[in-house]
Chain A
Amino acid sequence: MKYNKYLNSEGKLYRKENTVYFMDTKGKKTPIPVEKIYALYCYKEVSFTSSVVILLAKYNIPIHYFGRYGNYVGTFYPKGENYSGKVIVQQSENYLNSDKRHYIAKEFVKGSILNISKNLSRYKLDYDKEKYITALQKVNRITDIMNVEALMRNDYYNNFDNIFKNFKYEKRSRRPPENEINALISFGNSLLYSTVISEIFNTHLNPSVSYLHEPYERRYSLALDIADVFKPIFVDRLIFNLVNKKIINENHFEKDLNSCLLNDEGRAIFLSKYNERLQKTIKHRKLNRNVSYQRLLRLECYKLEKHIMGIEQYEPFVIWW
């Protein structure tokens, strides 16, 4: 099994024969067996040499970079996309045709609604998912679809103070996050976004042609679309766990007058628990085979690719356990 490598301290990557090493500022060297790596995630300043790049390219390993807030900065993707002219044409056609675009956009929102509702039901909290699904059926403009999304997400977040035992959520604050829960959400969302990018690049989909978000919103706006469906499962559930089990506590944050961020230790915990989650496997009903959580993201991309190619209609992933 390949795994993700999270680099959480400053240092450099260099190559010795066919192994990549990470050397931190204290001179501590860690070998990174390149054939086992799926993707690299850098949270601190990490430099690399061109011979490292050549090796990473050979194994098709992307490097994701994050800023000080855990915000996504960019991906160095050594080989770029798997090009299929037909897929790109179909992907664009599905964007330009507003009926087709709305179908996909609504399915993404529907996926969020259903996964969110599953999350809340675990805490025996009421959530009127039907209300939002009906509202979704009625609208036929992207801005209105977005509005339904925003309303239902607000409704969801408003329940957070009933879920979290040790921290207050209050309200969503982003740049910068103002309290612990917001810091965790922002951090997790960027992380998931980059994980989705890795998966999209393994398909023939073009990551900048998106349906719910506007293609010009971000370079890889399709990853935003897909990540939305999975946030409740990959990020929110993880945070509920980390906080309520006190795996993450107030010692894991750096607080300022108006900002709150994970510190080094907090980040390390989050990353390792997130990774555990990605590697966790479930028996996939349709495939009748065990797949990891991370693989679910790839399968979602396949489903979308099949949809735009007219092979099979897309329906979002909804957690069944």
Chain B
Amino acid sequence: MKKTNIDFEKELNKLNVRGIEINYYFICKTKLFLFMNNMGLEKNHENVELGKLLHETSYRSNKDKEVIINKIAIDFIKKNKKEDFIEIHEVKKSDKMELADYYQILYYIYYLKKLGIESKGVINYPNQNKKKEITLNDENIKNLIPVIQEIEKIRNSNLIIPPKKKKYCKKCAYYEFCFS
């Protein structure tokens, strides 16, 4: 366990992007910019120590509890005992932000893979009685990588991304900030 922990940390240093940042990247770059600069108007997740969490959570399957692994926060996970992989679950109110949600969970799968954990993703839409399954493949990895790079670029530059009005701005927590 000790040795693996060190490897995890090495890997994680390379993946500095948070799941929510992937999501915001697709929804609104201003939101991403504000969030990245700690100018958030929503409460953020606390990062919890990786080793402890992996240990505690990976084996305590099927608890309706958020799982936080360093940069990512998964709504809940299930362990598929037969085939020995874990299912990561996200619960979304609606499929309005489908692309953003898809990439977010894809990133989680990718992230876990980098840690040596095989997983599949499921987005649950309880309101619509709908589920969507996501697996990682060469093609979607190819699409995901530039997103991660782009986000890193935004983080490291002093680029300012001014707000532009979109359909869903009115429901956004930043609406008053952006358009006052």
Contact = CB atoms under 8 A, between A and B. Distances in A.
Contact of A83 (B38, B170, B179, B180): B38
A298 B180 CA distance: 9
Contacts of A85: 38
B175 interface: yes
A287 B37 contact: no
B162 A286 contact: no
Nearest to B30: A311
B160 interface: yes
Given A287-B175, A310-B160, A311-B160, A84 B39 contact: yes
Interface of B: 37-39, 160, 162-163, 170, 175-177, 179-180
A319 to B, nearest CB: 15
A311 B38 contact: no
B160 A287 contact: no
A204 B160 contact: no
Contacts of B163: 311
Nearest to A202: B41
A161 interface: no
Contacts of B162: 311-312
Contacts of A295: 176
B41 to A, nearest CB: 9
Interface stretch (A43-51, A166-174, A188-196, A301-309): A301-309
Main secondary structure of the interface of B (DSSP, over half): loop
A133 interface: no
Nearest to A306: B177
A305 B180 CA distance: 11
A300 B163 CA distance: 17
Given A287-B180, A302-B176, A303-B180, A84 B160 contact: no
Contacts of A298: 176
Interface in A112-157: none
Nearest to B177: A302
Main secondary structure of the interface of A (DSSP, over half): mixed
B39 A287 contact: no
A299 B176 contact: yes
The 3 closest A-B pairs by CB, nearest first: A299-B180, A84-B38, A86-B37
A310 B34 CA distance: 12
Given A305-B177, A312-B162, 10 more contacts: A82-B38, A84-B39, A85-B38, A87-B37, A204-B38, A286-B179, A289-B170, A303-B180, A309-B39, A311-B163
A87 B160 contact: no
Contacts of A87: 37-39
Contacts of B170: 289
Contacts of B39: 84, 86-87, 204, 305, 309
B50 to A, nearest CB: 23
A84 B176 contact: no
Given A310-B160, A311-B160, A312-B162, A84 B37 contact: yes
Interface string A268-311: 00000000000000001011010100010011101101100111
A287 B38 contact: no
A204 B38 CA distance: 8
A148 to B, nearest CB: 27
A284 B179 CA distance: 10
Nearest to B170: A289
A160 to B, nearest CB: 32
24 contacts: A84-B37, A84-B38, A86-B37, A86-B38, A204-B38, A204-B39, A284-B180, A286-B179, A287-B176, A287-B179, A287-B180, A289-B170, A291-B176, A298-B176, A299-B180, A302-B176, A302-B177, A302-B180, A305-B39, A305-B177, A309-B37, A309-B39, A311-B160, A312-B162
Contacts of A299: 176, 180
Contact of A286 (B37, B160, B177, B180): B180
A300 B38 CA distance: 19
Contacts of A310: 160
